[in-house]
Amino acid sequence: MSAIRHLILIEHDHKKIFPATLALIVAAQKITASIDLLLMGRNIQDIAQQAAKIAGIDSVISCDAPQYEYFLAEECAPVIVAMMADYSHFWCAGTSAGKNIAPRVAGLLGIGQVSNVVAVHGERSYTRAIYAGSVLVQIETPEQKQILTIVTTAFPVLASAAQSAIETSVKIIAKPPAALQNLSRFLHNKTTTSDRPELTAARIVVSGGRGLGSTENFALIESLAQVLGAAVGASRAAVDAGFVANDCQVGQTGKIIAPELYIAIGISGAIQHLAGMKDSKTIVAINKDPDAPIMQIADYAIVGDLFEIVPQLISLLKNKSA
């Protein structure tokens, strides 16, 4: 392999960098080499300035053009493919954007991608999660260049103190856009607004499952989340039943999170659900079935009827904070 050089795709919402994508830097740092951050978007001068203050990187490459505004893989991939002449490793977060862009880059380069990396052992050696995270395999890839997506929760996010302690900024290199592809078009963005923390960034998550039984009952989850200042999550069964919006889904086909505290209420703990929350630091499960799989991985398993336990919990917490 030629000299090792890392190129890392950092995601943002055009106002701030997504902290979870900073875990990519921690992952790349396991292989000593220069690290360049790639920022794509429209009018991203401020974001590029923010990125230039991050510790431990060599430069920031800014691809600033209207076609990059929505991270369309069809537009983003060609410019990354051209850049890969100078890099050995391209790192993406296992987010919707990362899972869209990385395979297209790998496909255009004609090389295999390494997905769901949870540990880095060397320049070609990784541990990756397969079967919804229930099996971890250590692999050695023969590819000369590496296209990687990582499970961001498997790596610590760079401490914000490490970012602000840096006084000198790294160089920002402006990259001219690639030719317009016009293969896909952005139609609209429907976002949910909430005064509660965002699910993937929350320290505490209260999740509800089919055991809640109805949308009205799901309000119990919202109330508990409210008193704890937590985000609301859900199992796919609860989402499919229409109790809650699908952006709350946690699991293999939902969001993968690792909060400080995860409270699973009326959730059985199917393997696809565990894939999204098993790395949480402390897991509390409330379930009437002591043999439910979630009870096996819970740090605190409360056996009983959620309709008795949760209201008591809410009232205790309210009294405590009064």
The residues of the shown chain that bind ligand FAD, judged by CB under 6 A, are 209-211, 235-238, 249-254, 266-268, 270, 272-273, 276, 287-289, 292, 305-307
Least distance from C-beta 228 to ligand FAD, angstroms? Answer: 19
Closer Cβ to ligand FAD, 41 or 276, answer by number: 276
Sign of the CA dihedral 157, 39, 191, 268?
Answer: negative
Torsions phi, psi for 92 (to 5 deg): -130, 150
Contact 283, 206 (CB under 8 A): no
CA dist., res. 6 & res. 46, Å (int): 23
Element of type H or E holding 216 = helix 215-228
Q: Are strands 113-122 and 125-130 parallel, antiparallel or unpaired?
A: antiparallel
Closer Cβ to ligand FAD, 77 or 270, answer by number: 270
Least distance from C-beta 255 to ligand FAD, angstroms? Answer: 8
Contact 314, 223 (CB under 8 A): yes
SS3 assignment, position 276 = helix
Least distance from C-beta 125 to ligand FAD, angstroms? Answer: 29
The CA-CA-CA angle for residues 197, 51, 43, to 5°, reads 85
Least distance from C-beta 279 to ligand FAD, angstroms? Answer: 15
Can you say how many angstroms the Cα of residue 136 is from the centroid of all Cα atoms in its chain?
18
The amino acid present at 287, given as its one-letter code, is N
Least distance from C-beta 253 to ligand FAD, angstroms? Answer: 4
Least distance from C-beta 287 to ligand FAD, angstroms? Answer: 4
